[in-house]
Structure formats: C-alpha cells, structure tokens
C-alpha cells in the first residue's frame, strides 16, 4: 500500500454509503469545510470582499489596512449594541464576533464534524458538484506544540495549553506589520475561547492565515509537500484509511468532491440525523431555512427526470 507524507489528495464520492467506510480513528485527525462548488478554493471573507470591491488591486497591504480599519470602527461602535465585550487587545475574540455577525475577516469557518461539513456543501443545491475539504488539524497543531514546548522547556503539552498558545500567537499576528519582504506562511487552527450557540451547534472552529499579504491558498499549501492534488479513487482511500500503518502527518489535505446527483439522497440522510438548518442555525433564521428546505422536498427528487 502506498505511503504518503504531507500529501494533498483529491477524490470523488461515488456512493454515499462509502463515506461510512472511512474509520473514525482516521477522520478524527481532520477538521472540515463544506463548499457548494467543488471548483472554489478555500478563501476567507476579507479576501473575497477586497477582490469584489478592488478587482485589480495589487497592493498587498490593502487587506491588512482594511482589516485594521474595520476593527477600529467595530470596537468604537460595539458598546452601542452590547454591554459585555472582550478585552480591548484580544483581537481574535473581536474578529470572532465580527465573523459571527457577517463582517469580512481573515478567519475561515470550519467544523469538527464531517457531516456538518457535508450539510454545508450540499444544502444550497447549486447546479454543480460540491466538495468537503478535510484539513489535518493534528498536523497544524504539531507545529505549535513544538514551538510551545521549546519555548517553555517542556517535553509534553496539553490540548488546552496549545489552544491558549494558538490564541496568543493569533493576537500577535493581528498586530504584525502591513507588509513584509518575506511574509510567514502557515495556517493556525483556532478553537474560540468564547463559544456562541451557533458555534456550539455546528461544532465550529476557525482556520486563520499567518498574515493577509498572501492568499489563504498559499498559506494552506505551505503545509503540503506538493501543491498539485494527487487524484485517488474513493475505494483505495478507504483501504488506506483502514490500514494499520499510517502516521499523523501522512495526509495534510483531503478534498472530497460530491457529485450533485447525490444531493437528494444525502439530504434525506442528514435530515434523519437531525442535521437541518433549524438545528444548525439558532432562532427564526434556522426555522425559516428549514421550512424552505421542506417545501423543496415536497416537490420530489429535483434530479429525477
């Protein structure tokens, strides 16, 4: 059986039931992001916002400037809307609040649940194949673990210690210079210290690039040995995942393409698991999304001729 190291693999799910043949011990190392179009790269909302308003921009410091300007205005006006607030210099928690309420930030929403990611990939029923990106959170955290243990002269570090250290590093990065000759590359896996109801329901967390001078994709691909995706059929992937000989860093990124023809079957299964908009989105927003979905369901299989 082939051995991988920090690999970027891409596969296509041919049969929905095959997803359950990937063992939990293999999938536990990953965090997930579902996207409605398999051709979309992963990008953060700040990146997309600046590209929309400044399509011909070549100033690499613009995203940092926009980020700082938004943060300044948000913190200034925030007391008008809430009496409780994070510490003034806890930039990460401020950006988490901004992300939750729809402001563009460098944070990328992810989930620790494969099936929540499948929901987000397939729920919009776009007329294209969707995808779930699985990113090796263990590999992302290993870099921080090594730095933390060296810094504190320790041989081991707890999960909470690394999570707090990631939080500390993120706040330092937010205050970095707008432009650097040789910008650092890498993705930070961030578990928010203050969890709202939606994050809890979606088992949510964040990925954060080391800076906004480079695209999110450039940061993400810095964790693989070869940037070009290696194609693999799903059944050999199942065999590999069930093998006994694999390391924690063998697969850095796994992209699972989902043919649009599977959406209806997947939707039925997810509703049986109670993975609906009403469950994932608290309040009336979730209820309205769920009601709209049920109306579509009543029309029968949209892919059946």
Please indicate, yes or no, if residue 288 is contained in any of the structural domains. yes
Number of domains making up the chain: 1
Whether 111 is in a domain gets the answer yes
Task: Kindly state the DSSP code that residue 41 receives in the 8-state scheme.
Answer: P
How far apart, in whole angstroms, are the C-alpha atoms of residue 169 and residue 17? 40
How far is C-alpha 99 from the geometric centre of its chain's CA atoms? 13
The residue whose two tokens read 């930039």 is 91
Cα 241 to Cα 295: distance, rounded to the nearest angstrom:
38
The rounded distance, in Å, linking the Cα atoms of 304 and 106 is 40
Report the alpha-carbon distance of residue 20 to residue 59 in Å, rounded.
46
pLDDT at 111: 97
164: in domain: yes
50 found inside a domain: no
The answer to whether 227 touches 215, Cβ cutoff 8 Å, is no
Range(s) of the domain holding residue 262: 7-42+107-297
For residue 143, is it within any domain? yes
What's this model's pTM, rounded to 2 decimal places?
0.90
> C-alpha dihedral over 189, 230, 243, 12, to 10 degrees?
90
Each residue's pLDDT expressed in tens, for the chain with a length of 305 residues: 677 889 999 999 999 999 999 999 999 999 999 999 999 999 999 999 999 988 887 787 888 889 999 999 999 999 999 988 889 899 999 999 999 999 999 999 999 999 999 999 999 888 999 999 999 999 999 888 988 899 889 899 998 999 999 999 999 888 877 667 777 889 999 998 877 888 899 999 999 999 998 999 999 999 999 999 999 999 999 999 998 666 667 999 999 999 999 999 999 999 999 998 888 988 887 888 777 765 554 444 544 44
pLDDT of the residue at 247: 67
Residue 186 is encoded by which pair of tokens?
């890498």
Rounded Cα gap, residues 35 and 42, in angstroms? 8
Residue at 94 is within a domain: no
User: Does residue 80 belong to any structural domain of this protein?
Assistant: no
Six token digits for residue 240: 């590999």
Q: If 0-12 CB within 10 Å is exposed, 13-18 middle and 19+ buried, where does residue 113 land? A: middle
**pLDDT at residue number 196:** 83
Residue 92 lies in a domain: no
């Amino acid at each position: 059986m082939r051995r991988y190291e920090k690999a970027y693999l891409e596969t296509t799910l041919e049969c929905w039931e095959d997803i359950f043949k990937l063992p939990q011990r293999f999938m536990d190392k990953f965090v997930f992001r579902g996207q409605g179009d398999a051709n979309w790269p992963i990008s953060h909302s700040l990146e997309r916002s600046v590209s929309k308003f400044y399509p011909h921009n070549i100033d690499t410091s613009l995203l940092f400037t926009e980020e700082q300007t938004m943060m300044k205005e948000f913190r200034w006006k925030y007391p008008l809307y809430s009496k409780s607030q994070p510490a003034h210099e806890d930039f990460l928690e401020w950006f988490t609040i901004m992300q939750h309420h729809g402001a563009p930030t460098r944070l990328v929403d992810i989930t620790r649940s494969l099936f929540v990611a499948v929901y987000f990939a397939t729920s919009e029923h776009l007329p294209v194949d969707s995808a779930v990106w699985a990113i090796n959170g263990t590999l992302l955290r290993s870099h921080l673990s090594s730095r933390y243990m060296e810094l504190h002269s320790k041989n081991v570090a707890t999960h909470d210690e690394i999570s707090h250290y990631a939080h500390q590093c993120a706040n330092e990065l937010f205050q970095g210079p707008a432009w650097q000759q040789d910008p650092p590359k890498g993705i930070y896996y961030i578990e928010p210290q203050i969890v709202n109801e939606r994050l809890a329901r979606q088992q949510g967390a964040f990925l954060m690039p080391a800076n906004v001078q480079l695209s999110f994709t450039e940061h993400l691909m810095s964790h693989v040995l070869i940037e070009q995706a290696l194609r693999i059929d799903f059944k050999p992937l199942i065999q590999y995942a069930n093998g006994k000989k694999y390391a924690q860093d063998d697969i850095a990124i796994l992209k699972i393409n989902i043919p649009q023809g599977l959406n209806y079957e997947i939707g039925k299964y997810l509703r049986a698991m109670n993975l609906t908009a009403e469950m994932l989105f608290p309040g009336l927003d979730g209820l309205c999304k769920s009601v709209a979905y049920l109306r579509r369901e009543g029309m029968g299989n949209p892919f059946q001729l």
